[in-house]
Amino acid sequence: MKIIKPILLLIVLAAAVMLPLLTEAYFISVAITILTFMTLALSWDMMLRTGQLSFGTAGFFGLGGYAGIIAAADLGVDPITGIIIGGLVAGVVSLVLGMAILRLRGLYFAITTMALASVFMVIIRNLHKISGGPSGKVVLSTLFNYDSNKVYWFMLGVALITIVISEVFQRTRIHFAIDSIRADETVAKSHGVNIYKYLIFVFVVTSVIQGVVGATYALQYGFVFPESSFSAHYLLLPIAMALVGGIYSTIGSVIGAIILGLSSEYLKLIMPYGHLIIYGVIIVVVVLFLPNGVYGAIKDVLGFRKRRLEER
Amino acid sequence: MEKISFLRKHRGILILVAILVVVAIWRPLAAIYGVQRGSLYALIGLPLALTLGVVGIMNLAHGDLLSLGTYIVYLFAVNTGMDPLVSIIPVFFLLFILGVVIYKLTVTRVLKAGHLNQLLLTFGISMIVLELMKVIWTTRPRSVYVDYSSSSTTIAGVRFGTYELLYVVLAFAVLIALQLFLKKTRLGQATFAVGQNPRGAKIVGINTDFVYLFVFGLSVAILGIAAGVMVPRFAIFPSVGAAFTMKSFSLVAMAGLGNLTGILISGIVLGVGEAIVQSIPGYAGWSDIVFFGVLIAVIMIRSLRRQSL
């Protein structure tokens, strides 16, 4: 039993790496989108594991995108450096803001992160000279010059690193600290867990990931635009994906991203407008009826069956 | 206790009057527009404060339900030729029913769940309402023309629109009506009790579930008033109300839970602040940041003060 899991993982990994050699360009672009949202979903879920609900995903995504494009257009750096700068800017901003807003809890933290995303957008829209204002900014040298296979491998790398970070968070002592904060903050505090330090650490790591993904996304197409770079899309979809797959786990976000990513392509074909309604419905239904997500529900059913077999 | 809250109330009003006098001398137009717009913010913020204070749920679909209200007003105006201000009455009851339905179908199931699930749920509802409006009415802006909406008057050499004074009147009317409801009626007193201590209220025999249902429905219904009064002056499009969710929450955060008069005061203060920023040439685009800046500052100060205690 124990050897099956690593082998299965290797097969999935090999298939993921080989994908560009097996399929055509359209599917590769779908896969890039899925990886982008999968990474965002994971980063959102990683923050959620501390018990803090963040609505700032789209904010740091857009910030990273803008930082990357501005670095590439005005400083003339190559796209990869631009992506690193995107991540760094998101990280520095989240560190400074995090020191203040991570003193907040629950509802207040969630709403403040939501306000932050809007603040970023207003600032960017008004800094005409640097950001291009409401009409956005364009850069000519895109990531790998529109070579979608290379973009795919790059994005796969980012996603894999995020998965590894997420697993590290789950398996090391950080996991115990995070889980104890979520379960009962006061108890965690009285056992000597430095909550504040861990919260800031997780907040900065997840924001860097969001910034990197944002910069990758922006540089892949070579433009940013206030309304689309900070779109609620980059907040809503990752949340829906993590919820569908099952929150508080790495595999949940991954499965959720694949399920929703593929089905959204299909939905776009059958209903070009308003397919976001389905995401809203998914969020509502999952919150009401499947609090553990699809993966969690399957696990529950399997666990139930196993227990019944054992009882016999 | 009674005395402290009384003094506080007066302090708020005094500060408000002082600010208004200074601004009125410095930039008279900004003061008038600020008060008008601030009252509209308060009118929309009051129902949110009610749900947040009594039911304990942050309704992220608040602004989208407001947009839906404006579309219903629009439909009445187009199909029956009804005046937007008259259609407030049917829209009020329609939205009340909608609120009750939303509560019965979804909200009642997450009352005992954590804040996280409640936020996610209303976030999902907000998306459904918003996207549904986009599908049905597209994103093309619509408007209803009434001749009295652009009337204006001149006082002391300052020319300003008079229609918007209706926002001020209605904000005060709704505030007073809510205060009377909470203090004078039986259901209102029950609501007040539930807001203070739901378990205690249940123990003394108050039907808390009905109170929640009624308050949620009422909050959505009050949005109908705001929608009716907005339609003559605002273009109607699906995301017209979305910005008001955050703004309303800013007011609640500023006023503190359970302080309905504070909502009106904070609304006017922020409205005037926005109007001042907008009146500075070249910086009009920054006015949106006033609310968020104040929201973040107030939340931070409150949390720090709480920690020092």
Flag whether A246 is in a domain.
no
Q: ∠ CA(A277), CA(A278), CA(A283), 5° rounding?
A: 100
Whether residue A174 lies inside any domain: the answer is yes
Mean pLDDT of chain B: 83
Nearest chain A residue to B135 by CA distance is A274
Cross-strand pairs, B153: B160
Residue B1 has pLDDT above 60, yes or no: no
Mean pLDDT of B6-10: 63
Task: Please name the member of B115, B249, B286 whose beta carbon is closest to the beta carbon of A122.
Answer: B286
For residue B252, the chain A residue with the least C-alpha distance is A108
A118/B106 Cβ within 8 A: no
Q: Which residues of B touch A51 (CB under 8 A)?
A: 116
Nearest CB to B249 within list A111, A236, A284: A111
A279 touches chain B (CB under 8 A): yes
CB contact under 8 A, A119 and B304: no
CA atoms within 13 A on the CB side of B88: 13
Select the more confidently predicted residue: A273 or A262: A262
Binary contact (B119, A239; C-beta < 8 A): no
Using a CB-CB cut-off of 8 Å, the residues of chain B touching A284 are 106, 121, 124-125, 128
Structure tokens at A260: 């929703």
Instruction: Write the burial class of residue A15 (CB in 10 Å: 0-12 exposed, 13-18 middle, 19+ buried).
Output: exposed
Q: Strand, coil or helix: what is B158?
A: strand
> How many angstroms separate the CA atoms of B65 and B245, rounded?
10
Q: Which helix (H) or strand (E) holds A85?
A: helix A79-101
Q: Is A7 inside a domain boundary?
A: no
Identify the weakest region by mean pLDDT among A294-298, B210-214, B304-308. Answer: B304-308
Q: Which residues of B touch A (CB under 8 A)?
A: 58, 106, 109-110, 113, 115-117, 119-121, 123-128, 131-132, 134-135, 246, 249-250, 253, 285-286, 288-289, 292-293, 295-296, 299-300, 303-304, 307
* Record: contact A118-B292, CB cut-off 8 A: yes
Domains of chain B (ranges, CATH numbers): 29-308 (1.10.3470)
Residue bearing tokens 């090999």:
A14
> Average pLDDT in the B232-254 region?
85
| A100 interfacial to chain B (CB closer than 8 Å) | yes
Backbone angles phi, psi at A75, to 5 degrees: -95, -10
Q: Measured between CA atoms, how close is A19 to chain B, in angstroms?
A: 34
Specify the DSSP class assigned to residue B236. Answer: B
Distance CA A294, CA A304 (A): 15
Cβ-based neighbours of B52, under 8 Å, separated by 6 or more: B58, B59, B249, B252, B257
A7-21, A208-222, A232-246: which is most confident: A208-222
- Which of A114, A273, A287 has the CB atom closest to B120's CB atom? A287
Domain presence at residue A252: no
pTM of the predicted structure, to 2 decimals: 0.81
Question: How many domains does chain A fold into?
Answer: 1
- With CB atoms and an 8 Å threshold, state whether B131 touches A282: no
What does the DSSP assignment read for B75-143?
A: HHHHHH---TTTTHHHHHHHHHHHHHHHIIIIIHHHTTS-HHHHHHHHHHHHHHHHHHHHHHH-S--B-
A302 occurs within a structural domain: no
Q: How far apart are CA B122 and CA B113, in angstroms?
A: 13
The residue of chain B with its CA nearest to that of A283 is B124
Residue A70: how many other CB atoms lie within 10 Å:
23
- Give the residue-averaged pLDDT of A254-274: 81
Residue A123 resides in a domain: yes
**DSSP run (H or E) holding B293:** helix B288-308
pLDDT for A241 beyond 60: yes
- The string of pLDDT tens digits covering residues A181-195 is 676 777 777 776 677
Q: Provide the sign of the torsion angle of the four alpha carbons A160, A163, A168, A169, taken in this order.
A: positive
First vs last C-alpha separation in chain B: 19
Whole-number Å distance between alpha carbons of B113 and B111: 6
pLDDT band at B256 (very low <50, low <70, confident <90, very high): confident
Taking a contact as any Cβ pair under 8 Å apart, which residues of chain A between 42 and 61 contact chain B? 48, 51, 53, 55
Domain assignment of residue A115, given as a range: 24-231
Residue A206 lies inside a defined structural domain of this protein: yes
Mean pLDDT estimate for chain A: 81
Query: Nearest C-alpha of chain A: how many angstroms from B96?
Result: 21
Contact B295 A236 (CB under 8 A): no
pLDDT for position B309: 34
Structure tokens at B303: 């949390």
Match 């397919």 to its residue by tokens: A275
Residues 6 or more apart whose CB falls under 8 angstroms from that of B37 comprise B164, B167, B271, B274, B275
pLDDT at A64: 92
The single-letter code of the amino acid at B43 is L
Residues of A in contact with B109 (CB under 8 A): 288
On the CB side of A138, how many CA atoms lie within 13 Å of its CA? 2
Task: Give the Cα separation of B97 and A283 in Å (integer).
Answer: 23
Whether A129 is covered by a domain: the verdict is yes
